[in-house]
């Protein structure tokens, strides 16, 4: 197998403000794995929160390429993914998820099957789900205008960022969105900005505005506090920053109402399926989330979309230019393609491409041309 890396700059259509800061762009590293003339693609995006920049991702993917050289076929490498033996245990989850995605894409293309059918042993139904669309921390007037436009476009689920210095601003923003989109389902996401005491005080007020559930209302690092809040919360509580790994999910199963699983956070599709199995029957439901990424980065999760109670896979919709296409979403619904592999394709030229790094290796360890 031969690997190639390319780094691109993904610019947002407009800056996104959350409680931790503002983002207007993100670097992405695209991994290509080629075998027998067929290519599979995966994406990892840089994240200051997870301590990964593009340079670190490239270096780690180069190490992963060496590991791939041990396998004769992508299918045998995927089996090692399932057995958790392909990469070192300390490989960052975002890198592991991108490597797995490229292998799934490649294996699906070789088999002539979309990834969702590979995962379901031949089931033909293509997953589709209404995705939440994020509204950042902004003025009530702008939030209302955005909500109205999104509702007109077909979005039925809106996620409103919270965690403003003054909670009254969050309440006004949610109230404005509710008035502008009275039939939309509303989710609230303070990104861990509140103490448990503040959350207890505020959540009943958001419940009165018709918010359906809240993601990670409390400061990360205290899952016990989050679970205790969930016991008496006026709103269903979904763990996000406090639910990174399978062990985290097991500890919170049955104690919170939901767990937000991001493939870049847990390590990929098979890691997400292990978390889903751990939650099954516990009363804790699955939410599928994402980082801001292109359609290539979002696609693996879309192939799991029918397994989730809540779907928040709008990262590609926040971009000024999505360099990949194939999973929809602009009408409020993401759809797993029926094309082989992940089903995404390049959307013409990539104007945000920064550089192309050919860190390629053949399976024998020789540099690729």
Task: Tell me how far the alpha carbon of residue 32 is from its chain's centroid.
Answer: 20
128-346 CATH? 3.20.20.120
Can you tell me which residue has the tokens 């200051």?
48
What average pLDDT does the chain have?
A: 93
| Residue-level pLDDT at 361 | 33
Confidence at 369, pLDDT banded by 50, 70, 90: very low
Q: Residues 208-226: what's their mean pLDDT? A: 98
Integer Cα distance of 191 and 215 in angstroms: 7
Q: Residues 239-252: what's their mean pLDDT? A: 97
Is a pLDDT exceeding 80 seen at residue 116?
yes
Whats the size of the chain, residue-wise? 369
| Residue-level pLDDT at 247 | 97
| Residue-level pLDDT at 353 | 44
Highest CATH level, class, for 2-112+348-357: alpha beta
- Residue 261 exposure: Cα atoms within 13 Å on the Cβ side: 39
Can you tell me which residue has the tokens 């390629």?
360
Confidence at 124, pLDDT banded by 50, 70, 90: confident
Q: pLDDT digits over 273-301, tens only?
A: 999 999 999 999 999 999 999 999 999 99
Q: Compute φ and ψ for 69, nearest 5 degrees.
A: -65, -15
Is a pLDDT exceeding 50 seen at residue 199?
yes
Integer Cα distance of 300 and 114 in angstroms: 10
Q: pLDDT digits over 316-349, tens only?
A: 999 999 999 999 999 999 999 999 999 999 997 5
2-112+348-357 and 128-346: identical CATH topology: no
Contacts of 317 (CB under 8 A, 6+ apart): 131, 133, 329, 330
Q: Residues 18-31: what's their mean pLDDT? A: 96
Q: Residues 63-91: what's their mean pLDDT? A: 93
Domain boundaries, given as residue ranges, for the chain = 2-112+348-357, 128-346
Q: Residues 170-177: what's their mean pLDDT? A: 99
Confidence at 123, pLDDT banded by 50, 70, 90: low
| Residue-level pLDDT at 279 | 98
Is a pLDDT exceeding 80 seen at residue 122?
no
The CB density around residue 13, as the number of other CB atoms within 10 Å, is 12
Can you tell me which residue has the tokens 């290519």?
39
Is a pLDDT exceeding 70 seen at residue 121?
no
């Amino acid at each position: 197998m031969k690997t190639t890396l390319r780094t691109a700059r993904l610019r947002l259509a407009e800056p996104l403000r959350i409680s931790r800061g503002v983002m207007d762009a993100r670097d992405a590293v695209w991994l290509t794995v080629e075998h027998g003339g067929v290519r599979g693609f995966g994406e990892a995006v840089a994240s200051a929160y997870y301590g990964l920049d593009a340079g670190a991702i490239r270096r780690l993917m180069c190490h992963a390429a060496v590991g791939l050289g041990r396998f004769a076929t992508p299918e045998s490498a995927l089996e090692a993914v399932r057995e958790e033996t392909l990469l070192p245990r300390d490989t960052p989850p975002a890198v592991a998820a991108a490597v797995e995605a490229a292998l799934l894409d490649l294996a699906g293309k070789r088999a002539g099957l979309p990834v969702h059918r590979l995962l379901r042993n031949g089931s033909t139904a293509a997953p589709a789900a209404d995705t939440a669309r994020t509204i950042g921390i902004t003025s009530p007037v702008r939030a209302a205008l955005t909500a109205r436009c999104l509702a007109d476009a077909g979005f039925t689920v809106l996620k409103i960022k919270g965690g403003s210095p003054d909670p009254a601003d969050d309440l006004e923003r949610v109230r404005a969105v509710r008035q502008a989109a009275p039939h939309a389902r509303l989710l609230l996401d303070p990104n861990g900005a509140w103490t448990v005491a503040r959350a207890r005080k505020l959540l009943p007020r958001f419940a009165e505005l018709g918010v359906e559930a809240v993601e990670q209302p409390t400061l990360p690092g205290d899952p016990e506090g989050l679970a205790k809040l969930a016991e008496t919360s006026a709103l269903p509580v979904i763990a996000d920053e406090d639910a990174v790994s399978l062990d985290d999910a097991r500890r919170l199963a049955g104690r919170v109402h939901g767990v937000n699983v991001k493939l870049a956070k847990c390590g990929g599709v098979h890691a997400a399926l292990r978390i889903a199995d751990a939650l099954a029957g516990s009363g804790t439901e699955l939410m599928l989330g994402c980082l801001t990424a292109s359609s290539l980065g979002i696609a693996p999760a879309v192939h799991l979309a029918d397994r989730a109670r809540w779907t928040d896979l709008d990262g590609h919709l926040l971009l000024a230019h999505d360099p990949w296409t194939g999973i929809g979403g602009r009408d409020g619904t993401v759809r797993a393609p029926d094309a082989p592999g992940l089903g995404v394709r390049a959307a013409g030229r990539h104007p945000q491409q920064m550089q192309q790094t050919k860190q390629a290796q053949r399976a024998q360890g020789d540099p690729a041309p």
